[in-house]
Structure formats: structure tokens, C-alpha cells
A and B are shown apart, each in its own frame.
Chain A
């Protein structure tokens, strides 16, 4: 019999030390013991990812480590998420996410997606190299509150501006997040976006910080 604190610690440490199998075991153990799945996600897996974010900010971890931590987190999330009652599953919000046309990079996008997955959002992942109009169509079809776009190169970034205009013309209430190496706050402002992550690396820590804020909201 493991206490809830012990299970949470195993989940947290497993994510930080990218021990996927141990995270899966701990997740199953937590369920077997009858602990609340959402609590295990937020105070175990997400809490571990917050530590990962600190390690990344301090240049102790780099992208390979973060990717392995993300794998470990998903190992646990896949087991726990089905056990979270739908209305408690987070903010019950939806996001459309993708890398813009011309861009086949999706590491940053996938890490931000993870953040929304953890928070229990319904994620409509369009993948990468996404034609501009597909973002608009998917947002209208799903009535998602947020559209998140990523571009890794200056050469593809300009497409974001068009998408923002197309979406805002049809639905001004949609919040649009931009991310990726060439995107700056100035660019985000200029393009009319509502939020941004400074770089691919920064998207990781920004995303992880957002998990932290979501945990705070959940705990209130």
C-alpha cells in the first residue's frame, strides 16, 4: 500500500528523470489505490514537468531531455486521463494547434500540445505543414477558444499573419497564440496575435509555466 504522497512523488520523479516505465507503474498503482486521477495528473505528472521547466531554464536540461520527460509524462497521462470524469477534466476548452504551411518542424508544437493535453483541453492537432485555410476551417468547425500556431523559420512565419486575419475576421473572440524560433513579441503584436512564446525553447518553459498556472487555478 503506497500513500498518495508516495505515488505523487514517484510520478513527479519519474517525469523529471524520464523513467517512462516507472511513471506508468506509478500511474497504475495510483489508480489501484483509488486515488483521484486528476490529482495524480496535476500534482504528480504536471508538477514533475514544472521541475523540468526549471531545469531547462537553468540550462541543466536541453531539448533531448525535455522530449524524454514528455514521453514519460504521456506514459502516465495515457493511463490516468480515461479515469478523469469529463466535467472535471480541466477547463473543458478546445484548442486548434499546428505548424504552419512550409514548416515541417513540430517539436515545439508537440510540447505545447502536451501542455494542453495535461490541462485536459480538447486538442485538435492539425499536424505540420498545415495549409493556412485549414486553421480557419478547423476553428469554425470545432468552435475552439484558442488557435495555436508554430513556425520554426522566418520564411514561414509570415503565413501566420494571414491566418490571424482570416480567423479574426470571422470570429474576433478567438485567442491566438504564436510560437517558434523567429516569432518575437513585436511580431506577435504586429500580426495581431493574443499571446506568444519567445522561441522554440521558450515555448517549452512558457508552456510548462502555463501548466503551473492551470494547477493553481485547479487548486483554488
Chain B
């Protein structure tokens, strides 16, 4: 059996070509405290500096045995580039991701997206981040991501307005989602042109515990499809929360692979999708990688069970919370590599 580099392993899997063993990678955040500490920096400072972001990502992957890095880390870059102020929590002792505490717009009509948004604010530093990682860690696959239009709408306006708007202000919601879809296509293309190896569209705000499958079909699916059509491969679609009623519609959006979280019944999803669709998931991220009460053996058993349920790659169901328990985190990557030597439903082995 020939040994692939982590990047080759990920890229071949995404093309459904035979691999040596299952990679451990993600479409969502993979930065962890050991990597941040090794880079000699504080969590609040990783979001604003290309070197810090790149090195915290590289060290996280190298120390924990990940096959990829994923950048950026937070969900506020686009909203910030539109003029919102972010909170970095620089004085907090806790690990807190940047947020938008107060939004500048209070109605859907007010939202204006600059034509050159991909060049504004921290979005402008992403080509540099990707360049550093490509140069310093060519062995790792580089994943980037964009929030889907509905979830992104919640970063620039109050989410309850959008949710109610689905019933009460359909035209305005449609116009807003169309504008955000254009923006997401544009930023995704910028990330791809900058050299990211795969891109993930994350739309957690539309899970079936929040919106009805009917609303998904009417408001969400057409936009996710349009984004997927506009982006190059490899491209993934991630929805966390309840996805059992949505999984077939997710598959119709045109992604090269689907990623889901712990609420998805993988075995059932596999039955519905057949063996040709790349299906990834669904690690219980807090319980298995952060909870100090979880024995390593339990984490190992969890990973094996996910593989046995029929995923093509074990993937966290969400961003990893940075303060992982190292032994459990390494066990996740190691077990994936060791137990993943047999073929998965959609991907053979060398």
C-alpha cells in the first residue's frame, strides 16, 4: 500500500478515487489550543493577522494529526466587511469567537453589500493566509468555507426577523437571500482563486428543527444549488442540526459531498443516498473531544461506530471547540486513520 500525503488523501477522497486510509479532515473550524499555544499567541489574536491564523492552523493540524487546515475561524468576516463592528473579546479569559454584538441595520431593505466585498476588511487577508499555509505546510489540504445565505442573513440582521419574514415578508426575504447568494459566490470564488483545496458551504440555520422542509425547498435549496453551480469542485455542503428530513434535498444541491452532525442518522442517510454519494460526519464534538469525563476508549468506540454506520470520512459535526482534551483529540485522528483502512461506501482503497 502506498502512503499518501494528508493533502493527497483528502483530494483523492473528494474525487472518490481510491486512497490508503480515511483522512481526518473537516469543512468547519479545526483550530485547537495546543496549536495556538505552539504558535505562541492568544486565541483572540488569531483572527486578525495572516501569520497568526496560518501558523495556529498549521500547528493544530500537525500536533493533532489532522489531514487539513481550515480557515478562517469565525463567522463575522463578511458582516464586518459590510460595516458591522465585531467583538473580539480580547479581555476575556475564556475562548470566545468574534461576534457582532449590535447590527447596523434593522430592516432587510437597508442591507447594502459592497461590490468589492471580497477585498474589504479581514476578507482581504485570506489570500495571504492561504499563501503562507501553501508554502509552509504543502502536505496539508486547505479547506475554506462560506456561510449559506440564510445563516449569513442572521449575521447581519436579527434572525427572528428573517425567520418571521419567511411568512410575512416573502419578497424582502427573497431579495435579501438573492443578494447574499451573489456575495457568497463571489467570496467563494476569491478563496478558490487564492488556492484553497476545497470549500464548504455551511448552512446550519436551516436545519429541520428550525425551518420546515417545505421552507427549505422553497427558500434555501434553490440558492444552495446556485452557489454550488458557480463554485468549482471540490465543494461540500454542511448542515448541522436535524437533517434526516433534508438529506435527499441536500444531495440535489450539487455538492461533491455532504457533511452532517450527530443528529443525523448516518445509516438511514446512507440508505437514502446510495453508496455513490460522499457522506461525512458526525462526531459529537463536545462529548468526544472536550469533555474531561469521556474516557479515550469511549471516543475510540464512537469513531469506529461512525465508520461502521457508513461515512466516507469521519468529520466533526461542528467547529472543534479549541480547548480539546489532547488524548481524546489525537485518538479521533488516529482511530480514523487506523480503522479507516477498509473501503467506505463511495471510496475504494489503494
Cβ of B96 within 8 Å of any chain A Cβ, yes or no, is yes
A-B contact count (CB 8 A): 87
Residue interface mask B86-99, A partner, CB < 8 A = 1: 01010010111101
Interface flag for A156 (CB, 8 Å): yes
Determine the interface band of chain B, counting residues with CB < 8 A from chain A. 35 or more
- Residues A129 and B87 in contact, CB atoms below 8 Å apart: yes
Instruction: Report which of B99, B163, B293 forms a contact with A103, defined as CB distance below 8 A.
Output: B99
Q: Does B338 contact A (CB under 8 A)?
A: no
- Note all chain A residues with C-beta closer than 8 A to B286: 154, 157, 182, 187
| B163 lies within 8 A of A64 (CB) | yes
Please, which residues of chain B bring their CB within 8 A of the CB of A102?
A: 89, 92, 94, 96-97, 99
Kindly supply a per-residue 1/0 record for chain A positions 139-159, scoring 1 wherever the CB is within 8 Å of any chain B CB and 0 otherwise.
Answer: 000000000000001111111
Alpha-carbon gap, A107 to B160, bound state (A)? 7
Asked if A215 is an interface residue, CB under 8 A from chain B, the answer is no
Interface: A186 (CB within 8 A): yes
Which residue of B has the minimal Cβ distance to A204?
Answer: B209
Residues of B97-130 whose CB lies within 8 A of A: 97, 99-101
Task: Give Cα A59–Cα B213 distance, bound, in whole angstroms.
Answer: 10
Interface residues of B in 206-249 (CB under 8 A from A): 208-212, 215, 241, 245
Enumerate chain B residues within 8 angstroms of A71, measured Cβ to Cβ: 164
Contact between chains at B293 and A190 (CB < 8 Å): yes
List A contacts of B100 (CB < 8 A).
Answer: 104
B36 to chain A, nearest CB (A): 14
Check B92–A101 contact: CB distance below 8 A. yes
Q: Assess whether B285 is in contact with A62, with CB atoms less than 8 Å apart.
A: no
Q: Nearest chain-A residue to B294 (Cβ)?
A: A186
Chain A residues near B96 (CB, 8 Å)? 101-102, 155-156
Interface centre among A67, A103, A132 (most CB of B within 10 A): A67
- Taking beta carbons and an 8 Å cutoff, which residues of A are in contact with B? 59, 62-65, 67-68, 71, 101-105, 107, 110, 129, 132, 153-159, 162, 181-182, 184, 186-187, 190, 199-201
